[in-house]
């Protein structure tokens, strides 16, 4: 599905990001796996996946919130690649805190990581995509950006911004052959959910028709679909991967 394609994936060291690296590698993509902090464990994992699927995976280290670092990373990747075909904006943080107890600083930081960094990378990478008049950008949002939830003023607001900005990017970049879509996971079995309040987790499970948490691999499969030519006429869409949770109603 992705043979000959070059992809940038942020937040590639765990959860949905790591699952997406593996899904893309399995389908023949050349992957630039981006994380903030270098580690032997991460590099070894990338080598293992690269070897298993006989493709190239290159670790890249930079902080997505630092404009200078992001620019340097994209410049470096662009210098080695004939073009960037896919960007998966996955890096993010989760904050669960009541509105009255959430500082403006916390909200600002969450917006910087989850929303502004995505816009920044999309701007930088889309400039390379425009040259070849093709490309697919997938921004990772969340059902928290659609459905109001206690304790989600920072996280939910940042993800709502991701969904809106995705549609705007799609409108503006479509004339260059660049597709932009978002994916909104629900209750997924990743580290991000491990520290959630048990009452919140239990309530969400009772409202999930499939009756279970999703897996990172299931989300990665949707990202893979959007990145591939199978979704060649899809842009400006937000695909919800939540086991039917939003269909339950508010």
Between these two residues, 243 and 230, which has the higher pLDDT value?
230
Contacts of residue 74, Cβ cutoff 8 Å, sequence gap at least 6: 8, 121, 124, 125, 128
Cβ atoms of 122 and 87 closer than 8 Å:
yes
pLDDT of 197 reads: 61
CA distance linking residue 14 with residue 96, whole number of Å: 20
Confidence grade of residue 101 (pLDDT, cut at 50, 70, 90): confident
pLDDT of 9 reads: 98
Confidence grade of residue 34 (pLDDT, cut at 50, 70, 90): very high
pLDDT of 28 reads: 97
Percent of the chain that is helix, strand, coil (3-state, to 5): 50, 15, 30
Q: What is the pTM of this model?
A: 0.94
Does residue 172 surpass a pLDDT of 60? yes
Does residue 248 surpass a pLDDT of 70? no
Q: Which DSSP symbol is given to 174?
A: G
CA distance linking residue 3 with residue 61, whole number of Å: 25
Q: Give the active site residues.
A: 155
Retrieve residue 193's tokens.
Answer: 């959910």
State mean pLDDT over 35-50.
97
State mean pLDDT over 6-26.
97
pLDDT tens-digit readout, 61-95: 999 999 999 999 999 999 998 899 999 999 999 88
* Mean pLDDT rounded to a whole number for the chain: 93
pLDDT tens-digit readout, 104-126: 999 999 999 999 999 999 999 99
Retrieve residue 23's tokens.
Answer: 């899904």
Cβ atoms of 122 and 169 closer than 8 Å:
yes
Among residues 53, 10, 58, 49, which one has the least CA distance to residue 31?
58
Cβ atoms of 180 and 170 closer than 8 Å:
yes
Does residue 45 surpass a pLDDT of 80? yes
pLDDT tens-digit readout, 191-221: 766 666 666 667 777 778 888 899 999 999 9
Helix axes 67-80, 117-132, angle to 10 degrees: 30
State mean pLDDT over 2-9.
96
pLDDT tens-digit readout, 124-171: 999 999 999 999 999 999 999 998 777 789 999 999 999 999 999 999
CB burial string 138-177: b at 16+ within 10 A, e below? bbbbbbbbbbebebbbbbbbbbbbbbebbbebbeebeeee
Measured in degrees and rounded to the nearest 5, phi and psi for residue 188 equal -110, 140
């Amino acid at each position: 599905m992705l043979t000959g394609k070059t992809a940038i994936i942020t937040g590639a060291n765990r959860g949905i990001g790591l699952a997406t690296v593996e899904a893309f590698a399995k389908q023949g993509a050349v992957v630039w796996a981006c994380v903030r902090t270098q580690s032997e464990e991460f590099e070894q994992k990338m080598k293992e996946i690269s070897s298993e699927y006989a493709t190239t995976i290159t670790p890249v280290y930079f902080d997505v919130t630092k404009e200078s670092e992001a620019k340097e990373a994209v410049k470096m990747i662009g210098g080695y690649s004939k073009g960037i075909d896919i960007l998966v904006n996955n890096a993010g943080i989760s904050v669960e805190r009541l509105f009255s107890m959430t500082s403006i600083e916390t909200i600002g930081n969450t917006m910087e990581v989850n929303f502004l960094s995505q816009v920044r990378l999309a701007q930088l990478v889309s400039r390379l995509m425009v040259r070849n008049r093709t490309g697919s950008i997938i921004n990772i949002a969340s059902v928290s950006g659609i459905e109001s939830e206690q304790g989600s003023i920072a996280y939910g607001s940042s993800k709502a911004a991701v969904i809106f900005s995705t549609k705007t990017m799609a409108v503006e970049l479509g004339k260059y052959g660049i597709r932009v879509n978002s994916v909104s996971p629900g209750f997924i079995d990743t580290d991000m959910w491990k520290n959630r309040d048990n009452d919140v987790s239990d309530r969400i499970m009772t409202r999930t028709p499939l009756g279970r948490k999703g897996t990172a691999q299931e989300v990665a499969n949707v990202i893979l679909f959007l990145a591939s030519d199978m979704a060649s006429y899809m842009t400006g869409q937000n695909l919800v991967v939540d086991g039917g949770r939003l269909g339950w109603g508010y």
